[in-house]
Amino acid sequence: MSVGGDTTGGAQHSRKVLSLQSMNANIRAMQYAVLGPMEVRARQLELELKQGTGKPFDSVIRANIGDCHAMDQIPVTYIRQVLGLCLNNSLLTSPDFPEDAKDHARRILSACRGHSLGSYTEGVGIDIIHRSVADFIQRRDGGVQARPKDVIITEGATEGIINILKMLNQPRDGKPTGVLVPVPQYPLYSATLTEFAMAQVNYSLDEEHNWALDIAELKRAIDECRSRCNPAAIVVINPGNPTGQVLTEENIRDVIRFAQEEGLFLIADEVYQDNVYGKDSTFHSFKKVMMQMGSPYYKMELASFYTASKGLVGECGLRGAFMEVINMDPDVRAMLTKLFTVSHPNTVGQVCIDCAVNPPKPGDPSYATFTSEREGILVSLAERAQLVTDAFNSIPGVQCNEVQGSMFAFPRLDLPAKLISQAKRLGQEPDYFYASQLLEHTGVFVVPGSGFGQKPGTFHFRTTILPSPELLKKMVQRFRVFHEKFIQSFM
């Protein structure tokens, strides 16, 4: 008799059920450049610096990800006050909090079961926050109607985007569903499409015209993809990530016409809509332009996205966002709602979204402080956008389009043939080789352009504009010294 019990069944098998060979191959094939192998090395370097290991730099400068508060963006006082009041109801009687923040907290708590953020909410979010979001969209779009029932509150924009792609994923006639994606693109799209075994249909942005969308390129992409997939949707990222452009209204109209002619679902990734810096740049939502274009365009299916992780708020860790879905078939919309009902959006993120879209108004006790903080954050970001553009364009062999919006720049590198050959011998993309050496020698952490996609024969890197002006200047100086020496070593 065995002390450990019966050893005759599965206990005799030491082989793992899950191995690299038996696991989901789509997940194994997924890549997410923003937090890839260089992220692991950056953490190792930070640990080595703490342990006193000698390095030619005293800190790692993380310019790889749009994490606002990690780069010392100051939390908005009003939002944190409302969050604090909602999480600790006893503070509602404290004289240390302004009355408008207390009223805001009471309004939200009154809509929560048990008057507590610890309770579950509806799968698509708290009803009163739907109304706040709809009012915000209607103000943003100059009075174009927005309906609360078209709003879904999500765990970050990522959840909403993934669920829309899930809804679209239905192979037909032996071919996968295709989604047109801009190149360069945000790796969320390539990773998710790989996971779902969907077809990524790349269309190249026009770098020579500040990353504009070219309709001839869109038509080329869709015509060439039909033999391998069934194209069903087009993704547009505006303002651009990683490219930092802001689309003109005419360019948006062109894309809408193209999508309507081709019968495509429009996925408008507009999470950086509050981050617009170019003096001649204005954000126009795809929904507003569609509605203004009239029939047949105002009947098109569209999902657009907004998040509290970006813009003025920058609360990446709270995971608050919303999506607006219009013109979806009611039966399909019921299925989308069912998909979200499987999970429940966290209430803290919902409060954050409500504050973002429903901030203090003129005359409110918090208005002056809120306005001062908002202007300070957005003006500083605009200054940093210009600083990054000018700084990289001053370095020989580096070209950077104007950072009109978002939180990123995507400079182009002119790399010598010997460097490219050396990278290939190492089995690396040339821009990955460049960026990894930049990290090793300077502590500056940027993301290779190959992780976002780029025109063949070109090499880029993505950097955020989020470090403080002083840190940005330090980063650019480290970059400049490295670039000149490194490039020269391959001449």
Please check whether residues 403 and 438 belong to one and the same domain.
yes
Cis peptide before 187 (omega within 30 of 0): no
> Which of 323, 357, 391 is the last residue in one of the domains?
357
Q: Cα 256 to chain center, whole Å?
A: 22
Please check whether residues 185 and 309 belong to one and the same domain.
yes
Please check whether residues 387 and 318 belong to one and the same domain.
no
Please check whether residues 410 and 338 belong to one and the same domain.
no
Cα dihedral across residues 411, 414, 420, 423: positive or negative: negative
Question: In which order are the strands placed within the sheet that holds 151-154?
Answer: 151-154, 321-326, 302-307, 265-269, 230-237, 177-183, 199-204
Residue type, 435: A
CATH number at residue 415: 3.90.1150.10
pTM of the model: 0.92
Query: How many domains is the chain partitioned into structurally?
Result: 2
> Which of 357, 382, 409 is the last residue in one of the domains?
357
| Residue 117: closest CA among 101, 313, 126, 160 | 126
What is the domain range of residue 412?
Answer: 25-72+371-488
Please check whether residues 284 and 327 belong to one and the same domain.
yes
7 belongs to a structural domain = no
81 belongs to a structural domain = no
Please check whether residues 466 and 352 belong to one and the same domain.
no
Contact 66, 310 (CB under 8 A): yes
Please check whether residues 400 and 436 belong to one and the same domain.
yes
What are the pLDDT tens digits along the chain (491 aa)?
Answer: 444 545 455 556 668 887 888 888 888 877 766 667 899 999 999 999 999 998 999 999 999 988 899 888 999 999 999 999 999 999 999 999 999 999 999 999 999 999 999 999 988 999 999 999 999 999 999 999 999 999 999 999 999 999 999 999 999 999 999 999 999 999 899 999 999 999 999 999 999 999 999 999 999 999 999 999 999 999 999 999 999 999 999 999 999 999 999 999 999 999 999 999 988 999 999 999 999 999 999 999 999 999 999 988 999 999 999 999 999 999 999 999 999 988 878 999 999 999 999 999 999 999 999 999 999 999 999 999 999 999 999 999 999 999 999 999 999 999 999 999 999 999 999 999 999 999 999 999 999 999 999 999 999 999 999 999 999 999 999 999 999 999 999 98
Please check whether residues 337 and 406 belong to one and the same domain.
no
Pairing status of strand 177-183 against strand 230-237: parallel
77 belongs to a structural domain = no
Radius of gyration of the chain (CA): 24
Please check whether residues 34 and 156 belong to one and the same domain.
no
2 belongs to a structural domain = no
E strand segments, 238-369:
265-269, 302-307, 321-326
Please check whether residues 397 and 458 belong to one and the same domain.
yes
Residue type, 48: E
CATH number at residue 242: 3.40.640.10
Please check whether residues 419 and 324 belong to one and the same domain.
no
Q: Give me the phi and psi of 152, to 5 degrees please.
A: -130, 130
Contact 305, 321 (CB under 8 A): yes
